[in-house]
Structure 1
Amino acid sequence: MLTTPSAHSRHNLNVDGVSINVPSMPDAIASVIDAAQRGENFSVCTLNLDHVVQLRKRSDFRNAYQRAKFVTADGFPIVILSRLVGTHIKRTTGADLIEPLCAEAQRRNLPIFLLGSNNVTLAETVKALSQRYKGIRFAGFFAPGPDFDPYSPEADFAIESIRRSRARLCFVALGAPKQEVFAARCLDQLEGTGFLCIGAGLDFIAGTQTRAPTITQKVGLEWAWRMLKNPRRLAPRYAKCMVVVPRLFVRTLPQIISARTRTAA
């Protein structure tokens, strides 16, 4: 049974201008399914440090975050900031949302569209999820090319495919910032579909990519595991992420002081 969002959801954490308004996995599942059942148009973003870096560079990416109905905390440093502020936010990634949402979608007969990755991954994902959640409805799927542009004719085709499918949920696995920008564009052109930005989540389910061990995820070192697997690509990215941490702390300091003042009073 779904739970209603907790009382902590009233105390959002603001990270560099982005409000994290979904504090935990149960809150995320309840909020998304409730919105999907009401036939709302919405998007879900999961904030991490790499996104914070990119938000400063791309106005379309920031606009996509500002338009998202639900924002969770993906990065562990963001979770630490939340604890300093007293909001008790728990790490909730796009990949972690997929299966719980599929379970609820199956129970409530909500059709799902899969967008991103490649045809092999999509086929394997459909197969795996159909076996785990008997009767789940996949309205369609589409794997765009590697140079997908959210404003291209290929994106127009994807939007039309989603419209014809009448999906209530769409898992968008294009990587940031493409997936968030595409989801924001869909908000203007589609009705009754929720878009969840999930990164490599479909690849993890299909087995075409290996996720970090659970213990690594729990202690906040999934990023280190990923970097060791692909240092040439990820080391520069994570170096930029580390640089932004002190600035985030300074910008969050007024929230921390305010929270401590309330506690002391």
Structure 2
Amino acid sequence: MQFTIKSQTISVNVPTWDALEARVQERLLDREGFSLATINLDHLVKLNRYSEFRDAYALQDFVVADGNPIVWMSRLANQPVQLIPGSDAILPLARVAARNQVSVAFVGSTDESLLAAKIFLERRVPGLQVATCLSPPMGFDPLGPAAERMLRQVAASGAGLCFVALGAPKQEILSARGRLIAPSVGFASIGAGLDFFAGSQKRAPEWARRYALEWLWRMLSNPRRMTWRYLKCFLILPGQVVHALSLRSHNER
């Protein structure tokens, strides 16, 4: 599945869970870094607005579908992909790291949340080693000198996989920069996933996720912040549907 933003093509190039785990394991074993992004409608909105975000996406090695609209459009385009939310990817990727004796790092959120997430994951995933937890200060600039120091700390910790929980576009920009500063580390942008494990943020209940209503649950939980975000997503949806149908028509010729 492909999206074109400002003449830049972004492809969901990891279509399934099995493919994601296989590709991450291969990179970890070779000590070859990577950057993983999870695309959704909110990202498409931000990609239209921020050139730094587009630059960061151009450097992502792996892109997965995070959001049911992306999955539905992939089916319309006859290029089906599986739903792989960043928060759901943490446990499978942590298991891949533990199985291959690769330690992990956490970047983002708060010190308290990272410690709680560390305790949770080390209990949940036998053999997992969390090498370092780094929480950036308020106003953190992923392109600034503090970001470079943080990335060098991740590299020095010996971690082979780093979960980045800063939200878009900061996490993708930092991950793309990490490909240059810490080239042996894999960076996975996972949004609020660590906060869910820590209990500092509450995720939508299972029924909302099962029926693709997580967006509605989040909007009702925080209407002031989320209503405008989802409105902007809905506004771009018709154009994306037309694009998906045009891809299907082109592929069927």
User: TM-score normalised by the shorter chain: which range applies?
Assistant: over 0.9
AA in 2 matched with 1:104: V
Q: How far apart are residue 26 of structure 1 and its match?
A: 2.0
| Contact residue 40 and residue 192 of structure 1 kept, 8 A | yes
Q: Quick check: 1:84 aligned with 2:72? A: no
Q: Quick check: 1:70 aligned with 2:62? A: yes
Residues 77-102 of structure 1: CA distance to partner in whole angstroms, max 9, x if unpaired?
Answer: 11111111222211101101101111
Report the Cα distance in structure 1 between the residues aligned to 2:16 and 2:206, rounded to whole angstroms. Answer: 17
Report the Cα distance in structure 2 between the residues aligned to 1:146 and 1:201, rounded to whole angstroms. Answer: 19
Specify the SS of the correspondent of 2:106. strand
Match of 2:167 among 164, 175, 178: 175
| Contact residue 29 and residue 97 of structure 1 kept, 8 A | no
Q: Quick check: 1:187 aligned with 2:179? A: yes
Task: Name the counterpart of 2:19.
Answer: 27
Match of 2:237 among 235, 245, 248: 245
Unaligned runs of at least 5 residues, structure 1? 1-12
Report the Cα distance in structure 1 between the residues aligned to 2:96 and 2:174, rounded to whole angstroms. Answer: 25
AA in 1 matched with 2:3: V
Residues 203-257 of structure 1: CA distance to partner in whole angstroms, max 9, x if unpaired?
Answer: 0111111111122112221111111100000100000000000111222332121
AA in 2 matched with 1:252: A
> Which structure 2 residues correspond to residues 86-125 of structure 1 after superposition, within 5 A?
86-125=78-117
AA in 1 matched with 2:69: P
Task: Name the counterpart of 1:162.
Answer: 154
Which stretch of structure 1 is more off in the superposition, 56-65 or 169-178?
56-65
Q: How far apart are residue 157 of structure 1 and its match?
A: 1.9
Task: Name the counterpart of 1:45.
Answer: 37
Report the Cα distance in structure 1 between the residues aligned to 2:246 and 2:31, rounded to whole angstroms. Answer: 38
Unaligned runs of at least 5 residues, structure 2? none
Task: Name the counterpart of 2:198.
Answer: 206
Structure 1 stretches of 4+ with a deviation exceeding 4 A read none
Report the Cα distance in structure 1 between the residues aligned to 2:137 and 2:85, rounded to whole angstroms. Answer: 25
Match of 2:3 among 7, 15, 24: 15
AA in 1 matched with 2:62: F
| Contact residue 55 and residue 62 of structure 1 kept, 8 A | yes
| Contact residue 114 and residue 172 of structure 1 kept, 8 A | yes
Cα RMSD of the aligned pairs, angstroms, is: 1.2
AA in 1 matched with 2:199: G
Which stretch of structure 1 is more off in the superposition, 225-234 or 214-223?
214-223
Specify the SS of the correspondent of 2:131. strand
Report the Cα distance in structure 1 between the residues aligned to 2:139 and 2:120, rounded to whole angstroms. Answer: 27
| Contact residue 175 and residue 187 of structure 2 kept, 8 A | yes
Specify the SS of the correspondent of 1:56. helix
Q: Quick check: 1:152 aligned with 2:140? A: no
Residues 178-200 of structure 1: CA distance to partner in whole angstroms, max 9, x if unpaired?
Answer: 00001111111112100000000
AA in 2 matched with 1:105: A
> Which structure 2 residues correspond to residues 134-145 of structure 1 after superposition, within 5 A?
134-145=126-137
Which stretch of structure 1 is more off in the superposition, 229-238 or 209-218?
209-218
Report the Cα distance in structure 1 between the residues aligned to 2:97 and 2:241, rounded to whole angstroms. Answer: 38
AA in 1 matched with 2:18: P
Specify the SS of the correspondent of 1:171. strand
